[in-house]
A and B are shown apart, each in its own frame.
Chain A
């Protein structure tokens, strides 16, 4: 697992990820500001890894991008267009999200988990939704498991279904909220490789992660956050090998 090039892999679909820009994004729960004036630019088809200690506002940042939690001030630009001016339901069709705890629908099979939003949000016919869902499941290596319910799948398989479910909506950006934190250790690599594959195929990704190896290997940009602010951002080598701030140095010494 040495090189990760950002050239498309032969024989597979490529994605057309959109650009994303955060401008002075501030988010609050009640009166408490958990994110203050966060700005970053994410080029199309690149991967940005967000690292930082718990309580640094990483997950809140992702929820601000797709407006699962409404920003207090600032702006999010998706492909140059203000996300705050787009209806949330429309915006979220363009931004896929993968959660730490998968959040699969427990009473649906893997196939139906993927097909549900294709039918009910995209309005595809049952046959077409099923066909697309099958293709997506095959992509994440779960063609054989399409009739299983989530509880009959391992954590790694569930997370791959969740990724297929998000990809099926053909998003321009994918958000990953600690997607491997709840997995058994031997299953982490499979999911990370899958994510690296998406990055290589041109998806724009924002990845909140504690997997420093992944961040170093796959990210085009790493952002270190603490206490709701961006402390340091830059190329992975720069951040991991030459951390500038004390806080990042301390954080790295604790996690590496």
Chain B
């Protein structure tokens, strides 16, 4: 049972896991959530802008949106993070101070916004064209029709895809460590890695992995749950009713009809 021993010592050194646990919660989890949630919020805002530009009737809005999306979706995340994190370090220093943390968030936001923009765009374009027509026929401007009716419907149908995107951002947030974070800024992966160097085995990283799973797995199932609910609708099953009931009701209620309609 030598190999079993080796595996246990490498991956499941409970002492090392227990040692790193407080740091993972206090520093790692906290920072992972701060980075992921900020990147998601900024990504949602930018993504909506990109999506609305992308479906605009004007090509001067459409083409820049297209290029932006192709650029940030087409590059590996790590490349974008390094280019932005190091390329704008000077500028960032004058605004945010020496920490690369804000730049990491910005880079992740840009990447996220290109994906989220496509999600929003697909959702908005999936809304029945009749909705826009009905709004316009009532005298709403294009902007009002989009803002009040079309976009909200588009968002609702892509909620599951947005949660999936958040899961991807949580995982990608680990890449920010490449920019060299201060001790208090380390996210889950970095905390695990630093602890792994001290313990001499991989158990702290396994522990960090468990934290990631604790975030992502429930969300995945939440998505599936919502997805099913949206697909089947929230309609409560009701006993079949005859269309003739409605005719009766109408005959009784309609005050508009001239003459006899019985």
Contacts and interface: CB of A to CB of B under 8 A. Distances in A.
A70 B78 CA distance: 49
Interface residues of B, number: 35
Contact of B148 (A5, A116, A156, A198): A116
Nearest to B247: A186
A1 B260 contact: yes
Interface in A74-91: 88-90
B2 interface: no
B86 interface: no
Given A68-B136, A101-B130, A121-B140, A193 B244 contact: no
Secondary structure call for the B interface: helix
B156 interface: yes
Interface stretch (A44-52, A103-111, A207-215, A239-247): A103-111
Contact of B254 (A92, A141, A154): A141
A32 B130 CA distance: 23
Contacts of A186: 243-244, 246-247
Given A90-B139, A120-B140, A151-B235, A190 B256 contact: no
A27 interface: no
A97 B243 CA distance: 26
A200 interface: yes
B137 A97 contact: yes
A92 B137 contact: yes
Contact of A194 (B130, B243, B244, B254): B254
A12 B141 contact: no
A104 to B, nearest CB: 8
Contacts of B153: 105-107
Contacts of B256: 9, 12, 139-140, 193-194, 197-198, 201
Contact of A190 (B134, B152, B235, B250): B250
Contacts, number: 121
B133 interface: yes
Interface string A125-141: 00000000000000111
A230 B55 CA distance: 37
Given A66-B137, A190-B246, A103 B254 contact: no
A141 B250 contact: yes
A54 interface: no
Contact of B258 (A9, A143, A187): A9
Contacts of B254: 140-141, 190, 193-194, 197
A154 B246 contact: yes
A200 B133 contact: no
Interface string A141-183: 1010000000110101100001001100100000000000000
Contacts of A117: 135, 138-140
Given A68-B137, A120-B144, 8 more contacts: A103-B130, A103-B131, A103-B133, A106-B153, A117-B139, A152-B235, A162-B134, A190-B247
Interface of B: 128, 130-131, 133-141, 144, 148-149, 152-153, 156, 233, 235, 243-244, 246-247, 249-250, 253-261
20 contacts: A12-B255, A92-B136, A93-B139, A96-B137, A97-B134, A99-B137, A107-B153, A116-B149, A121-B139, A141-B254, A151-B233, A152-B235, A154-B246, A156-B250, A166-B138, A184-B243, A186-B246, A190-B250, A194-B254, A198-B256
